[in-house]
Each structure stands twice: as C-alpha cells, then as structure tokens.
Amino acid sequence: MADNISVAVLGTGIMGTAMARNLAAAGLDVRAWNRTRAKAEPLAADGIRVVDGPEQAVDGADVVLTMLLDGPAVLDALRQAAPTLTPGTLWLQMSTTGIEEVTPLADFAREHGLRFVDAPVLGTKAPAEKGELTILAAGPQDVRERAAVVFDVIGRATQWVGEDGANGAGSRLKLVANSWVLTLVSGAGEALALAEGLGVEPRDFLAAVADGPLDVPYLRMKAELILSGAYPASFTVSTARKDARLISEAAEAAGVRMDLAAAAAERFRRAEEQGHGDEDGAAAYHASFGG
C-alpha cells in the first residue's frame, strides 16, 4: 500500500526533514518543499523530489503533511498550493499552532474540500529521526486508516483525541504537553545556573537526584548540553519562545494564569537576544547571566 501513496511534505526543518526521510525509506513517494530550498536539497539524496514551490509538491499528492513554524506560515503555504490541491486530499497538519490558529486552517480545508487532521507531535530531533514521535491527532474515523500509513512510519504511537480536527483538540493537548516540556527545560537551566552561582559542582546536583523521584531523562539530556557548552538544536530557543507565547495566549483566553509559562517566555526572549535563538532550548541557561 505504501508504494502507491504520495506525500507532500511542506517544511523541512529539524522535524520535517526527519519525517520526509523516514517516509521515503518506507517506500512512499515523497515530494518536499521548504521556503529556503537549500535546506531541503540534501533530501534529494534520499530519493525525495525537492521542488521550488508548495503548489508543485501537492500536485497529485494523496497526502499533504505540513510541518512549519506556526499557523500563519502553514496557511501561507497552503494558499500558494491552492491551484493544484485536489478535493479529497488528506491534510495532516502537524505543526505546533495556537488554538486560535487552527480555525483558519480548518476553514481553508473545508473551502477546498480537503480532509483535515489536526495532528501535532511530541518529540524532538532524535525521536523524529528514529520514527518514534507521539502523534496527538483529531480527525474523522474514515480518514484514520489512510493517516496511519504516514503516522505508523513517523511515530511510535498515535493518540486520537477527537473526531473533529477543526476544534483543535490535538493542538490543545500539545500546548498542555509543551507547558510541561518548557517547565523542565527552564527548570534544568535555572538549577544549573544556581549551582554555578553558588559554587556547587553541577554533577553533585545531578548525583543528588539520581535514580530518585526528582530525576527525569529530560533533566539529564539538557544538563549534558549545558555542561558541554554545545547546543546542537533539537528544539530551538526561538521555537520554545514561540511555543511559550502560544501557551500563554491560550491560557489567557481560557482564564488560566500561567506564571511559569510567562517566566519561561521571558527567559527564552533574553537567550534569543544574546544570540542563542538557533541553538537548543537548553541554551536559555545563559539567560540567567548578564543583562
């Protein structure tokens, strides 16, 4: 079945690149587009057709997968692709968007006869490369078998949370999960910064919590980046700042105070101003120092 499925991947950043490669390796016909074509060019070596515009990527595709920065970027790409979109095409919207941004995307899908699935993912670079993402999906029952052809390749699990992608159930769950991710990233950075300030050996702190209820893999991962002083990106500071903003906006609209999300957003903003925007979110550690 996979041999007969063509997938247009719009957005080949950290996550989209890994998804495209895994889909091609599984035997699907993959076309890829990225706003900066040079970032997509390496995918040609994987047998993926790299194209100049989203309208070329979606032309004749059975599935459109969007993995772009935010809702406006997704909508702009789909509007460019509109002339060659075919009614009935399955659209897997996997970017992290705010809840409010789901509505115009779902409206576009309805206007063009697309089958819309709101399906953001949990996971960063390494899980994406291994095809071990967790997919948080909302969409009708009758498209789930088709969606599974893609989801089963790029993810280890799919959690269906509703039948109407237009209500953003997947995106709502993603924001809740990301609020926890940003809490862990910020907490790890602040704990190691405090150790630095108090003259505590960071590895003494890590040893103190080792194998106990306060020890979590994410702490270990981010601490190692901070201690190495190198921040190869799996989830960038700039992306984390964007997600913190989306969480805060959604919470405000729901009448919920999110003090930690607001503080995290400010830390990521300072780290971005210090020149760490394209580095891993762990680089927000540096926001604890300087002006």
Taking only the tens place, the pLDDT of each residue in 117-160 is: 999 999 999 999 999 999 999 999 999 999 999 999 999 999 99
pLDDT at 1: 46
pLDDT at 3: 56
Residue 160 forms beta bridges with which residues?
Answer: 137
Nearest to 188 by CA among 156, 155, 234, 226: 226
Residue 13 in contact with residue 35, Cβ under 8 Å? no
Structure-block tokens of residue 193: 């910064």
- The letter for the amino acid at 92 is L
Q: What are the pLDDT digits (tens) for 211-226?
A: 999 999 999 999 999 9
Q: What are the pLDDT digits (tens) for 79-122?
A: 999 999 999 999 999 999 989 999 999 999 999 999 999 999 99
Supply the Cα-derived Rg of the chain in whole angstroms: 20
36 has a pLDDT exceeding 80: yes
Proportion of the chain above pLDDT 70, given as a percent = 99
Residue 90 forms beta bridges with which residues?
Answer: 63, 115
- Coil vs helix vs strand at 136: strand
DSSP string computed for 252-281: HHTT---HHHHHHHHHHHHHIIIIITTSBG
Q: What is the mean pLDDT of residues 176-186?
A: 97
Cα 227 to chain centroid, rounded: 25
pLDDT at 192: 98
What domains appear along the chain, each with residue ranges and CATH number? Answer: 2-167 (3.40.50.720), 172-288 (1.10.1040.10)
Residue 8 forms beta bridges with which residues?
Answer: 31, 64
CA distances from 21 to 7, 39, 44, 153 (A): 12, 13, 10, 10
Q: What are the pLDDT digits (tens) for 193-250?
A: 999 999 999 999 999 999 999 999 999 999 999 999 999 999 999 999 999 999 999 9
178 has a pLDDT exceeding 50: yes
Q: What is the mean pLDDT of residues 4-14?
A: 95
Contacts for 152 with CB less than 8 Å, ≥ 6 apart: 158
Alpha helices in the chain (DSSP H): 14-25, 37-40, 54-58, 71-81, 99-111, 125-130, 144-154, 169-198, 202-209, 217-228, 237-253, 259-271
pLDDT at 291: 61
pTM more than 0.85:
yes
pLDDT at 2: 55
Q: Containing H/E element for 159? A: strand 155-160
Averaged pLDDT score across all residues of the chain: 96
